Amino acid sequence: MRIGHNIKKIRELKSLTQEEMANRLSMSQSNYSKLERDEMEFNMSRLQDISRILQVDLNELINFDEQNLFLIQHNRSVTGVQGTVNNNYNQTLNDKERQLYEDKIKLLEEKTQYLEEKIRLLEKQLKATQGTPYLSLNEAEAPSKPARKKGKTVK
């Protein structure tokens, strides 16, 4: 059984450092680290102290399931580890929420389709205008003056 590993994972979930745990347990950080690496034996008194500091039931500390870790990380406010897992696990979408999400998805799909059609239309317009000669802004604003011939004016 890897109790030390369980302690480490729960400690990390609670955002506690090894130093904080060691201080609360009145031991050195290096010895506490050995506990987490399962290099030291646990007595019942020490396990009870650790479960009290981590605010989890002793049974939860011993039987901690790391596969539920992703559920626990989303809700650290619940005191017990198993309580956290159960609370998150039961938070599923109700019918009304599901319908709202489906409506939102449908709306976004319709908007995407509209914008894709608009892009196709603009691309057609661009291709149509590329066939006409281009006039610069200056040429369009100032009409050209007729050229004057040098010499005598004929009347």
Its pTM stands at 0.45
Query: Is the pLDDT reported for residue 91 higher than 50?
Result: no
Confidence (pLDDT) at 105: 86
Apex CA 91: angle with CA 14 and CA 108, to 5°? 115
Query: Is the pLDDT reported for residue 28 higher than 90?
Result: yes
Residue with tokens 């506990």: 35
**How does residue 13 score in pLDDT terms, banded at 50, 70 and 90?**
confident
Whole-Å CA distances, 134 to 122, 128, 130, 141: 18, 12, 8, 13
- 101 lies in some domain: yes
The total domain count for the chain is: 2
Confidence (pLDDT) at 68: 57
Structure confidence by residue, pLDDT tens digits, 95-132: 777 788 788 888 888 999 999 999 999 998 888 888 66
Query: Is the pLDDT reported for residue 7 higher than 70?
Result: yes
For residues 111 and 75, state if they share a domain. Answer: no
Average pLDDT of 12-22?
91
Return d(Cα 53, Cα 81) in angstroms, integer. Answer: 13
**How does residue 53 score in pLDDT terms, banded at 50, 70 and 90?**
very high
For residues 31 and 85, state if they share a domain. Answer: yes
Structure confidence by residue, pLDDT tens digits, 41-51: 888 889 899 99
For residue 144 the two structure tokens come to 């050209």
Average pLDDT of 20-46?
90
- 134 lies in some domain: no
Return d(Cα 155, Cα 151) in angstroms, integer. Answer: 13
Q: Is 55 left (phi over 0), alpha (psi -120 to 50) or beta?
A: left
- 147 lies in some domain: no
3-state secondary structure of 59: helix
For residues 52 and 117, state if they share a domain. Answer: no
C-alpha closest to that of 60 among 36, 85, 38, 88: 85
For residues 78 and 62, state if they share a domain. Answer: yes
For residues 19 and 59, state if they share a domain. Answer: yes
Return d(Cα 43, Cα 141) in angstroms, integer. Answer: 94
For residues 74 and 55, state if they share a domain. Answer: yes
Buried/exposed code over 84-116 (b: 16+ C-beta within 10 A; e: otherwise) = bbebbeeeeeeeeeeeeeeeeeeeeeeeeeeee
Confidence (pLDDT) at 73: 47
The range of the structural domain enclosing residue 119 comes to: 95-129
Which CATH number characterizes residue 29's domain?
1.10.260.40
For residues 84 and 108, state if they share a domain. Answer: no
Query: Is the pLDDT reported for residue 36 higher than 80?
Result: yes
For residues 55 and 78, state if they share a domain. Answer: yes
- 59 lies in some domain: yes
- 27 lies in some domain: yes
- 36 lies in some domain: yes
